[in-house]
C-alpha cells in the first residue's frame, strides 16, 4: 500500500545534504523500502568518469555537470522509481524531480563525525561551514521552489526514523512543512563559526 501511494505521486526523489549528514544511508534505506533504484550521484559520476579534474587541495573530484546531468536524465526517463542522493541537487532539472528532502545535521555534530573519518581539516571545515550556512538547502530551495523542498533535522534521529518521516510526508503527513526552516546560525556560538571560516565552495565529489 505504501509503495502504491508513493509510486503514484512521487517517483523521482532527491535526498540531499552536506557530505557526512547520512544521505547515502538514508537514500539506500528509502529505496529498499519503496522498491526504488538508488543513485548515489557522486559515486555514479566517478564510476562513469564524468569528472573534469581532481582537486589535490581538497582531495575531491570536480564533476562535469553537463555530462552527468545528461546521463541522470536518461536514467530518470527509463526507471520508474529513483532515489537520488547528492550534495549538489541544483544541477538536476527541476521538472524531472517530484520531491526533495534536505537532511540537516547540527554543525558541531557534523564536525566530530567528519573528524572521526579522518578527513583533511580543510575539507572538514569547508563542509561544516556549508552546513552552518545552509548552502545545500538554499541552493535546492532556489532551484526547485518551496513546494518541492522539505528539511529534516537528523541530529537526534536514526536512519529508520528519518525514512519513516520521509514516507509519512509523501503520504500526506504534516510532520514537515515545505521550505527552509532550520537556521544553525541561531544555535551555534560565534567561536564555533570562526572555526569554519575562509573557505569556498564548488561542485566536488
Provide, for the chain, the percentages of residues in helix, strand and coil under a 3-state DSSP scheme, each rounded to the nearest 5: 50, 20, 30
Q: Determine the Cα–Cα distance for residues 56 and 68; give it in Å rounded to an integer.
A: 21
Give the annotated binding-site residues for ATP: 20, 22-25, 117
Report the alpha-carbon angle 35-79-86, nearest 5: 80
Phi, psi (deg, nearest 5) at residue 172: 105, 5
Phi, psi (deg, nearest 5) at residue 149: -110, 130
- Residue 82 in contact with residue 11, Cβ under 8 Å? yes
Query: Cell triple for residue 80?
Result: 520508474
Give the annotated binding-site residues: 20, 22-25, 117
Amino acid at each position: 500500500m505504501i509503495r502504491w501511494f508513493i509510486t503514484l505521486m512521487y517517483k523521482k526523489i532527491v535526498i540531499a545534504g552536506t557530505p557526512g549528514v547520512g544521505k547515502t544511508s538514508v537514500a539506500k534505506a528509502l529505496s529498499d523500502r519503496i522498491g526504488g533504484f538508488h543513485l548515489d550521484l557522486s559515486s555514479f559520476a566517478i564510476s562513469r568518469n564524468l569528472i573534469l579534474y581532481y582537486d589535490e587541495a581538497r582531495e575531491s573530484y570536480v564533476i562535469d555537470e553537463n555530462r552527468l546531468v545528461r546521463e541522470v536524465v536518461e536514467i530518470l526517463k527509463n526507471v520508474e522509481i529513483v532515489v537520488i542522493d547528492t550534495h549538489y541537487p541544483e544541477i538536476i532539472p527541476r521538472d524531472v524531480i517530484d520531491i526533495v528532502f534536505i537532511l540537516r545535521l547540527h554543525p558541531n555534530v557534523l564536525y566530530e563525525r567528519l573528524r572521526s573519518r579522518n578527513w583533511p581539516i580543510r575539507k572538514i571545515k569547508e563542509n561544516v561551514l556549508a552546513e552552518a550556512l545552509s548552502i545545500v538547502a538554499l541552493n535546492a530551495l532556489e532551484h526547485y521552489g518551496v513546494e518541492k523542498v522539505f528539511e529534516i533535522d537528523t541530529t537526534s534521529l536514526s536512519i529508520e526514523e528519518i525514512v519513516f518521516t520521509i514516507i509519512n510526508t509523501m503520504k500526506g503527513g504534516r510532520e514537515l512543512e515545505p521550505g527552509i526552516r532550520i537556521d544553525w546560525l541561531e544555535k551555534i556560538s560565534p567561536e564555533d563559526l570562526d572555526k569554519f571560516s575562509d573557505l569556498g565552495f564548488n561542485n566536488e565529489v
